[in-house]
Structure 1
Amino acid sequence: MPASPSSSAQAAREAVAARLRELMLDAGIDGKRLSARCGWNPAKTSRVLTAKAAPSESDIRLWCAACNANDQAADLIATSRAVESMYQEWRRLQRNGMRKFQEQVYALNEKASRQRVYVSNVVPGFFQTPAYATALMRSITRFQGTPDDVAEAVTARIARSRFLYEGGHRFAVVIEEGVLRHRFGTPEEMAGQLRHLLTVMPLASVSLGVIPSGAERTVWPLEAFYLFDDEHVVVETLTAEINVHQPRELADYARAFAELSKMAVYGDDARTLIRAAIGALR
């Protein structure tokens, strides 16, 4: 099963640090001498080597020059960029509001022909109604303290629903039963969201399964993840989005999704759970 995605990002940072250490050793210099050549405090070198601080692109160029390895700079910079894109804090991604980020997610949805999605917390964005999305995004904006552009962000998020109906996209979605019970908005708005799930279930592009709360677990509840084709996984934590591209980890998430799918119920059984959640709102 997948390890902590934040630990995967840290492991990638440590790999970059290890390459920088190898350059230093190949050059026959220690951290103190490298620091002197780069013109910075030795404490900075120590933080980079222990992966406590990520080097900037200019830091990498200076490091490579100090080690007479200028030919390694471009590759290390590209690797560092990829590592830093793995783990991105929501406050940074949404520092100017949520609309721009929603447009980026739209591009991911447009590109992927097959999506496998597992959620344990909220209804996936492409299934959301405007009222549900508004209530959810207002709570996120309030929690994060980021600029309020919820109205524009909701429009951008709801636009993703078009891919349910066009472009040959396929959506295999597994949700925990708790998602049906976590209320966002008024009871009427939440009921509208649940009725919308009943509406999209018959679509040829959609497979929607619900894991009953009493189901025997073969995989523990996980943080929400979105598997785009077999190329990219996005994992959502409280504080950050983690992007996973490593083949071994992609295989782990695909395996987890397959196991979670086996625990879910579909068709009339799933509709029964959704209707029960609607009834509970009354």
Structure 2
Amino acid sequence: MTTDFQTGRESLGARLRELRTDAGLNGKTFAARLGWQASKVSKLERGRQTPDLQDLTAWATAAGRPDTVPELRARLSGLETTYRSWRRQLVAGHRPRQEQAIAETTATAVTRAAEVVRVPGLLQTPDYARATLEAAAAFRQSPYDVNDAVRSRMRRQEALYDPEKRFRFLIHETALHTRTCPPAVHAAQLDRLMSVIGLDTIELGIVPLAAELRRAPSHGFWIYDRRLVIVETIGTEMWLADTDSIEVYERAWEWLHEAAVHGARARRLIGRVRAALGPV
């Protein structure tokens, strides 16, 4: 649990304690009114336990302040949203972040990903991954451990063949054209994308440039089951675990999915971009 998270939880607990004391109730009486153990009231007020939305609604009602539910909900949403700076995450290089990705993928049954300008890491070839990670290390001026990071990224891809898991990828056609590596590496990456179409654990959709969209994609994002969304920006990564954020990104994913082509149509679209590269 991060220091920022714990500080936020303690702040929320202090607000809950304030509502209780303003109502003129001690902890034992308040717990009885809620039908809870007194220890739960104590843990919530001291920031030792994270409340859910039902807890907050019940608390506000028991304190005679149902008007504070929106405020408490916003505080919880902020608590469950973690902004992780790349500078802090990459202090020891890229490999630790790749190991985190392995852990999240291992813990997830259904992974959904949308990428706008690059191929998702789970579908990258080693050479494409190396070019991507080398550029990231140079841009963010992080310690160089690219070879170890590539090995970790490739190890994460073993999950693609786990029959208990499902992976649903959406790639905007822009990513097929965006060159971040030599032509031969880019061509091999496109070949790799065509090769995974048809695997029973993978659904790959390509959003054509000419597709009519209900909402234009502004950035890539990953949804892990219905428990976590990870969004990468230039300076930070957002780890979003609150219900509202997850629902918004699920809607964004579904709207993008409506415009995607799959199967043979996706293979043909990728093939046209690959053919434009010529012999490499």
Q: Tell me what 1:261 maps to.
A: 257
Which amino acid letter does the alignment assign opposite residue 111 of structure 2? Q
| Matching of residue 233 in structure 1 with residue 229 in structure 2 | yes
Q: Tell me what 1:52 maps to.
A: none
2:241 & 2:175 partners in 1: Cα distance? 27
Query: Does the C-alpha gap of structure 1 residues 174 and 71 become closer, same or farther in structure 2, counting only changes over 3 Å?
Result: closer
CA contact (8 A) 1:125 1:160 kept: no
Which amino acid letter does the alignment assign opposite residue 45 of structure 2? Q
1:87 Cα deviation (Å)? Answer: 0.5
CA contact (8 A) 2:10 2:47 kept: no
1:239 & 1:105 partners in 2: Cα distance? 18
TM-score (norm 2): 0.74
TM-score (norm 1): 0.73
4+ runs of 1 displaced by more than 2 Å? 13-28, 69-80, 82-85
2:19 & 2:157 partners in 1: Cα distance? 53
1:199-221 Cα deviation digits (max 9, x unpaired)? 11110011111111111110221
Which amino acid letter does the alignment assign opposite residue 104 of structure 2? L
Q: Tell me what 1:145 maps to.
A: 141
Query: Does the C-alpha gap of structure 1 residues 77 and 203 become closer, same or farther in structure 2, counting only changes over 3 Å?
Result: closer
Query: Does the C-alpha gap of structure 1 residues 83 and 22 become closer, same or farther in structure 2, counting only changes over 3 Å?
Result: closer
1:99 & 1:272 partners in 2: Cα distance? 35
Q: Tell me what 2:219 maps to.
A: 223
Matched residue SS, 2:48: helix
Matched residue SS, 1:258: helix
Root mean square deviation, CA, Å: 3.0
1:71 & 1:253 partners in 2: Cα distance? 29
2:47 to 71, 74, 82: 74
Unmatched tracts of structure 2, length 5 or more: 23-41, 52-74
Unmatched tracts of structure 1, length 5 or more: 1-9, 29-68
1:55-99 Cα deviation digits (max 9, x unpaired)? xxxxxxxxxxxxxx998333389999x938711011111111000
Which amino acid letter does the alignment assign opposite residue 211 of structure 1? V
Which amino acid letter does the alignment assign opposite residue 47 of structure 2? A
2:276 to 272, 276, 280: 280
2:194 to 166, 189, 198: 198
| Matching of residue 271 in structure 1 with residue 267 in structure 2 | yes
| Matching of residue 249 in structure 1 with residue 245 in structure 2 | yes
CA contact (8 A) 2:167 2:203 kept: yes
% identical equivalent positions: 31
Which amino acid letter does the alignment assign opposite residue 48 of structure 2? D
1:15-73 Cα deviation digits (max 9, x unpaired)? 97676577689989xxxxxxxxxxxxxxxxxxxxxxxxxxxxxxxxxxxxxxxx99833
1:144 & 1:84 partners in 2: Cα distance? 26
